[in-house]
């Protein structure tokens, strides 16, 4: 029988479900896409592939690629329409697509960023953040580090400005360079092991923290203001704030928060660190430690996950140092009573424990703790250091936002925040004051971002939101499959429902906050249907997550008017909320900001976005 005849015979062989299960999902998709084309596959056999199997492959029109000495497999190219039939053979255990491989780092793998970069659409090529500007408001960036460019490749730190008064934009402290490479480090160093989330995004170096990692509210506001003024010049779409100070005021009054809101109103997505106040000196969980500007409802506030350095997400846990909500900013009325914001924060969590990324030369952090050097290279532009904290988690989200905007430039800051939360993975055993909507899912974000109709701002509330079929709402990363959380966090409650991604919601527009749209009347949550479409469910209070569903621990969306959760500062029986006295002791009267060191109740700048070195 001639090879063409053999192919026709194989193609007509009955195939049952058991044989179909021998094929990988991506191979089935490749066959459906190109049934007549030659598809590279790897065939696994119970033992060394027999001559009979080789003959069947050749007779079916297959082409030899390679065989192996010790592994019972063979690599061939097969016409798509014969693969199913070949799987019926008893000497075929499984057939997989011969996938292209490249060296990838832990961060890009465990977040799903590597999957997302291959989520392309016609004419777009790979999703890598190219052309998107990410402003890093921090201690500076070492623009000569090869994570940000290399001889012959061009350089991606496209602007640098200093607001510290120290007359330099170099990173003398060591924090900003590390942060920047998490968001947008390239694959040039160490074969790509430490590639960032958006490796071709441009970086704007806005130095607001000095040589010792300290700054001021005014310097930070000046940096935010500069970004707004220059957003068109440098295409600044994302702002990363891995810094902060103790929440002394309501977000409605806090000056940094108000500057953040100006940036969001200008169309810039602002990612802010939650802080590292998640436990007390004895290791007990502490609630109420979210710092400014993370307390602002328009900021995307990010807590930290410990991945235990495994790519699979099955063992991920919220890092114990990661600050928990609710927000404790407040205002004092004329009678002297304090009124707390008590909003649910963080918005989500992302990997932030023991991340290895770029090291600026001779920096202060490394001088104080030499063990932070990761030993990757002795060549200065290739040196890397290991750091932990919500400072590290935040640029992971900032880089993701750059990818989302490359995929769909029409997305608003509110729409982006909604997608981040809706696609997140709820982690078992953590309430929403600890993990927000769950762990960042870059792959799911890019998938959903690409489905949002580009004209969604111009259609009425309730109109169809997607330009394609409703996604499956599951993601597989490093072999682990999980369901999306499917919800959006409000100030004091949750929204759920499929209509959040199938119908236009008014809260996704501009001039409002994602947390708008519900109000409290006589203890009952009411929807504002000019901002919310039908089919949205309003949840009560703080969700206790088990990774699948949850319940409510605070009814009617209120965290009690006096700012105390469930009575005497106790939540969930074994955790405490930061008391008023603690807040007043640790807050610096000058509203100074910092990223390293220890807090001093005597009035020196509070340190909270620290280079944390412990475990979960």
* Per-residue pLDDT, 21: 63
Span 56-74, average pLDDT: 81
Domains of the chain, by residue range, sit at 3-97, 106-476+561-577
Cβ partners under 8 Å of residue 130, min gap 6: 200, 201, 406
* Per-residue pLDDT, 30: 87
The CATH fold assigned to 3-97 is: Alpha-Beta Plaits (3.30.70)
Span 337-366, average pLDDT: 91
pLDDT in tens, 409-429: 999 999 999 999 999 999 998
Share of the chain above pLDDT 70, in %: 78
CA distance 483 to 452: 20
Compute CA 252 distance to the chain's CA centroid, rounded to the nearest angstrom. Answer: 26
With a cut of 80, say whether residue 32 has pLDDT above it: yes
Instruction: Identify the top-confidence range among 28-37, 99-108, 114-123.
Output: 28-37
With a cut of 60, say whether residue 596 has pLDDT above it: no
SS3 content of the chain, % helix, strand, coil (to 5): 25, 25, 50
pLDDT-wise least confident of 88-102, 427-441, 457-471? 88-102
Span 609-616, average pLDDT: 44
| Strand 524-527 to 537-538 pairing | unpaired
- CATH for 106-476+561-577, among 3.40.50.200, 1.10.3720.10, 1.10.10.10, 3.40.50.970? 3.40.50.200
* Per-residue pLDDT, 117: 57
* Per-residue pLDDT, 78: 93
CA distance 218 to 209: 11
Burial class (CB in 10 A: 0-12, 13-18, 19+), 589: exposed
Instruction: Lay out the sheet containing 94-97: strands in order across.
Output: 63-67, 73-79, 38-44, 94-97
CA distance 432 to 436: 4
Mean pLDDT of the chain: 80
pLDDT band at 473 (very low <50, low <70, confident <90, very high): very high
* Per-residue pLDDT, 280: 87
With a cut of 60, say whether residue 10 has pLDDT above it: no
Span 135-155, average pLDDT: 89
With a cut of 50, say whether residue 567 has pLDDT above it: no
Point out the residues that are catalytic.
138, 175, 391
Q: Is residue 396 helix, strand or coil?
A: helix
pLDDT-wise least confident of 66-75, 156-165, 274-283, 327-336? 66-75
With a cut of 70, say whether residue 266 has pLDDT above it: yes
Rounded to 10 deg, the angle between the 217-229 and 255-265 helix axes is: 10
């Amino acid at each position: 029988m001639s090879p063409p005849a053999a192919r026709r015979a194989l193609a007509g062989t009955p195939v049952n479900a058991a044989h179909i299960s021998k094929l990988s999902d991506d191979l089935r998709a490749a066959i459906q896409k190109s049934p007549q084309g030659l598809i590279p596959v790897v065939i696994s056999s119970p033992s060394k592939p027999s001559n009979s199997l080789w003959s069947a492959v050749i007779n079916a029109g297959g082409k030899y690629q390679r065989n192996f000495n010790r592994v019972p497999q063979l690599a061939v190219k097969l016409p798509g329409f014969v693969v199913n039939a070949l799987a019926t053979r008893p000497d075929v255990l499984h057939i997989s697509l011969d996938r292209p491989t490249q060296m990838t780092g832990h961060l890009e793998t465990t977040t799903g960023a590597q999957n997302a970069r291959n989520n392309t659409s016609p004419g777009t090529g790979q999703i890598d953040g190219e052309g998107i500007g990410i402003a890093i408001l921090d201690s500076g960036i070492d623009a000569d580090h090869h994570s940000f460019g290399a001889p012959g490749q061009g350089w991606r730190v496209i602007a640098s400005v200093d607001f510290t008064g120290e007359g330099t934009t170099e990173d003398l402290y060591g924090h900003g360079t590390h942060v920047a490479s998490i968001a947008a480090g390239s694959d040039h160093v160490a074969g790509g092991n430490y590639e960032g989330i958006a490796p071709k995004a441009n970086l704007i170096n806005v130095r607001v923290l000095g040589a010792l990692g300290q700054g001021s509210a005014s310097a930070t506001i000046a940096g935010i203001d500069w970004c707004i003024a220059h957003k068109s010049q440098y295409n600044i779409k994302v702002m990363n704030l891995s810094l902060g100070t103790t929440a002394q005021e309501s977000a409605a009054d806090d000056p940094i928060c108000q500057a953040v809101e100006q940036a969001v109103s200008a169309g810039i997505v602002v990612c802010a660190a939650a802080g590292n106040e998640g436990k007390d000196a004895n290791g007990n969980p502490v609630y109420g430690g979210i710092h400014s500007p993370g307390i602002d409802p328009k900021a995307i506030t990010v807590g930290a996950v410990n991945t235990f350095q495994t790519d699979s997400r099955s063992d991920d846990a919220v890092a114990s140092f990661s600050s928990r909500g609710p927000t404790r900013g407040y205002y004092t009325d004329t009678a002297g009573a304090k009124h707390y914001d008590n909003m649910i924060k963080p918005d989500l969590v992302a990997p932030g424990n023991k991340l290895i990324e770029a090291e600026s030369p001779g920096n202060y952090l490394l001088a104080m703790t030499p063990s932070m050097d990761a030993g990757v290279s002795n060549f200065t532009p290739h040196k890397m250091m290991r750091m932990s904290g919500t400072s590290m988690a935040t640029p992971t989200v900032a880089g993701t936002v750059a990818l989302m905007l490359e995929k769909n430039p029409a997305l608003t800051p509110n729409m982006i925040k909604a997608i981040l939360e809706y696609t997140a993975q709820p982690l078992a055993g953590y309430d929403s004051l600890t993990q927000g909507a769950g762990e960042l899912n870059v792959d799911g974000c890019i998938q959903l971002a690409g489905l949002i109709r580009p004209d969604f701002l111009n259609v009425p509330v309730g109109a169809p939101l997607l330009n394609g079929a409703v996604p499956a709402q599951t993601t597989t990363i490093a072999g682990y499959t999980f369901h999306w959380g499917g919800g959006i966090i409000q100030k004091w409650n949750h929204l759920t429902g499929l209509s959040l991604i199938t119908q236009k919601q008014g809260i996704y527009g501009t001039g409002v906050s994602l947390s708008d749209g519900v109000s409290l009347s006589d203890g009952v949550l009411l929807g504002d249907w000019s901002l919310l479409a039908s089919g949205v469910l309003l949840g009560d209070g703080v969700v206790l997550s088990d990774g699948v569903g949850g319940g409510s621990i605070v009814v009617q969306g209120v965290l009690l008017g006096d700012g105390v959760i469930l009575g005497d500062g106790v939540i969930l029986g074994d955790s405490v909320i930061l008391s008023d006295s603690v807040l007043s002791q640790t807050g610096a009267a000058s509203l100074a900001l910092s990223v390293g060191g220890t807090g001093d109740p005597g009035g020196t700048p509070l340190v909270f976005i620290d280079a944390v070195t412990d475990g979960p």
